[in-house]
Every structure is written in C-alpha cells, then in structure tokens.
Structure 1
Amino acid sequence: MLANPEAEQAWNEFVRLYHDIIFRVAQARGLQAADAEDVTQEVFVIVSRKVGGFDCAQPGSFRGWLHKLARDTAIDRLRQPAHHLGAGGSQMLRALKQHFVTEDTATLWDVEVKREQLLRACDHIRDQFSETVWQSFWLTAIERLSIPAAAAQLEKSPGSIRVARCRVMARLKKEVESDDRKFPL
C-alpha cells in the first residue's frame, strides 16, 4: 500500500501510527524535540523512497526494518557536529558516541509500539462502556490505583471494580488483536 504514491490514506494512517513512536525513540537517544521531529520526518522520507524495495518475503518484519531506519537516522543526527551534547572533551564525546551507537533501542521501540497500540485500542472501545466501568478499568489498569482505592473513589464494591476491569481488558485484548491483523505495527 505505501509503495503506491497515490495511497494518501495509507500514508496518513502510517504517519498516525508511527510518528509518536519514532519521535519518542529519537528523544530517548538524546535528541531535543526539534531534532527528534527532524529525524521523524527524515525517516518518513526514507521510507517513501525505499518502501517499494522492501521485500515482505525476506526474514524480518516491516516494523524491524522501520526500527532500524529510525535508530540509524537518530544516530546519524547525533554524529553531526552541531548536535553534540554538552562539553567534556574528546574522551567524553567518544564515550557518548559509543553509548548511542551500541545502546539497544529494540526494547524501547517495542514499548512505544505497544503504547501506541494500547492508546489506539482504548480510543476505539471507550464509548462501548459506561463511565463507571471505564473508570474502574482506567484507574486500576492504567493509573495503577489499587482495587480498594478505586472502589472507594467510585463508591463501588471491590468485586464490581474487578469485574468491570476484566470486561474492558477482554474487549481491549480483542481490539488489539484485530488491529494487529488490519495494520500490523
């Protein structure tokens, strides 16, 4: 889909899905917001040029390919003289460069992908539940409030909080699985 230059809707969806992930990974590499945004845009330009040559039959996923592009682009940005961080002499600069080159961002990438999936799925299912059921889930699963504390805050029994949270979590799981099949991150 992305290889087709006329696939504006696919590109818009792709940018919506990956913009924040790429941006946060670039910032985690040590870039300031403006530089992280530049890296994000540069990654999109590279994808637009190279996506036609991406072979889905080859080992590795599109997400893995995109992660490598984002990581390498952020590292390249960090290597540019105008973007060196702080002062500390050439020894410190070499240590920083080595840190940014060898630090594995795969875990960070996976966390950001999962975060985007969760937020997108929450947006899609939010209106399927009453406010109390949604708050039971949100307070306990997302904000990590204890079940007794959430029950007290919502003036419900701990059992009803557990049931509500389980209902939302089950629906959320189905939504994420469905989303993975439609447009895998």
Structure 2
Amino acid sequence: METSLPWLGRLTAAPSDADWRRLVGDYGPLFAGWLARAGVPPADRDDLAQEALVVVVREVNGFEHRGPGSFRGWLRRVVANRARTYFRARRDAAPAVDLDALACDDTALSRLWDREHDQFVVGRALRAVEHDFAAATWRAFVLQAIDGRPAAEAAAATGLSLNAVILAKSRVLKRLRAELRGLVD
C-alpha cells in the first residue's frame, strides 16, 4: 500500500481501482447506516447509498480540504442531500431525523456523525494497515495503544524488548497517521 500520498490525496488526484473499491467498501456501509437512521426503508437504502457514492466520485475532484473535519463534513452533507431528495420525491414518508441539522456543522446530530465517522474510518484503517506489520509488532501496538497496557507489560507479553515495543507503537502510529491524514483530522 502506498504511503507517500494519503488515500484522500490519491482519490482526488490519480485514483486507482483499489482507491475506488476502498471508497465503496469504507463509506458504503457508513452511508447506509445513516440512511437507515434517517428513515430510508431497507429496500431503498443500498441504492441511495450508491447514489451518494456516485456523487462523491463525481465531485471529489472539486473537494477542497479547508481544515479539520472538512472531508467528513462534506460527506455528511452529501448523504443529507441525497436523503432530502429521496424524501421530497416521496410525499408519503418523512425523514426520521432532522436532515438540516445533519447537514449543519455544529449540531448534536452532526457531532454524532463526526464521532461515528471517525470511529468507523479508524477501525477500517487499523484493519488496512495491520498486514503491513509483523504479528509481534502489531500485538505490541494493540497492547499499548488500544488496550492501554504499559510498554513493559507489552514487552513481557510479546517477548520483545522494551525498546522494540516502544518502536512498534511509534511505527504503527506513524503509518496510521499517514493513512488517516485528511479523513479524521
């Protein structure tokens, strides 16, 4: 996996088939979950999530990173707008959430989206980079960074030196930061 340019940069500059597959794999389930929360029936949810992904694909080149959270905010607005369009076309149904509040940057609903987005994306990033590291390195990282165990305890559990587990955590965190740049900051 290329680390010199973060995924978002590749997606907006020179996307590969793998970048597009990642977009669909990473964001399709997140979009579908929020569309479910908005009250979109299961029969229409996947199609509407796909429509939102098509908008992202079509318009991502025009996306400008304008500070922390701008990409997730842009995605949130894309999903809210697709849901608005859906409910406008179906006068017999109303959204289960305030789509205007979802589209705004500083509401309880948008903050919930932001938290869930970040948790979702970090989880996907963890799974994506895990295979870039030896099993002992990954275990040392998980013990320290995720489980909150002291480095000495991680060293004892993995059989690595104290220095090796400290370096393992540092290397994995550096790789994760590169992977997540622009997505959760």
TM bin, normalised by shorter chain, reads: 0.5 to 0.7
Q: Deviations over 1:16-49 (max 9, x none)?
A: 3322222222222233444221221111222233
CA distance in 2, matches of 1:169, 1:33: 41
State TM-score, norm by structure 2.
0.57
* Residue identity in the other structure for 2:90: P
State the secondary structure of the residue aligned to 2:58: helix
- The one-letter amino acid of 2:101's match is T
d(CA) in 2 for partners of 1:124, 1:49: 27
Q: Which residue of 1 aligns with 2:123?
A: 118
Take 1:120 and 1:83, find their aligned partners in 2: how far apart are those partners?
A: 40
Superposition pairs for residues 45-56 of structure 1, below 5 Å? 45-52=54-61, 54-56=62-64
Matched residue of 1:13: which SS?
A: helix
Instruction: Output the CA distance in 1 between the equivalents of 2:110 and 2:177.
Output: 24
Residue of 29, 43, 60 corresponding to 2:52: 43
What corresponds to 2:73 in structure 1? Answer: 64
Percentage of matched positions with identical amino acids:
17
Higher relative contact order (CA 8 A, sep 6+): 2
Q: Distance in 1 between matches of 2:130 and 2:65?
A: 34
Mind listing any 5+ residue stretches in structure 2 that lack a counterpart? 1-9, 103-108
**What SS does structure 2 have at the residue aligned with 1:30?**
coil
Task: Give the secondary structure class of the aligned counterpart of 2:50.
Answer: helix
Q: Distance in 2 between matches of 1:22 and 1:55?
A: 18
Quote the Cα distance in structure 2 between the aligned partners of 1:117 and 1:166.
Answer: 21
Contact 2:37 2:97 in 1 (8 A): no
Per the alignment, residue 174 of structure 1 pairs with: 174
- Number of matched residues? 159
> RMSD in angstroms over aligned alpha carbons?
4.4
Shift of 1:169: 5.8
- Could you say which structure has the larger radius of gyration? 1
C-alpha displacement of 1:170: 5.0
Q: 1:2 to 1:21 in 2, by over 3 A?
A: same
In the other structure, the counterpart of 1:151 is: none
* Displacement of 1:112: 2.6
**CA 1:170/1:3 → structure 2, altered by over 3 Å: closer, same or farther?**
closer
- Structure with more of its chain in helix, by fraction: 1
Tell me: CA distance 1:129–1:73, structure 2 relative to 1, closer, same or farther (3 Å): same
Aligned to 1:30: 39
Q: Is the 8 A contact 1:43 1:73 kept in 2?
A: yes
SS at match of 2:48: helix
Q: Distance in 1 between matches of 2:59 and 2:53?
A: 10
Looking at structure 1, the residues matched to 126 and 119 of structure 2 have their Cα atoms a distance apart, in angstroms, of 10
Structure 1 residues without counterparts, runs of 5 or longer: 85-92, 148-156
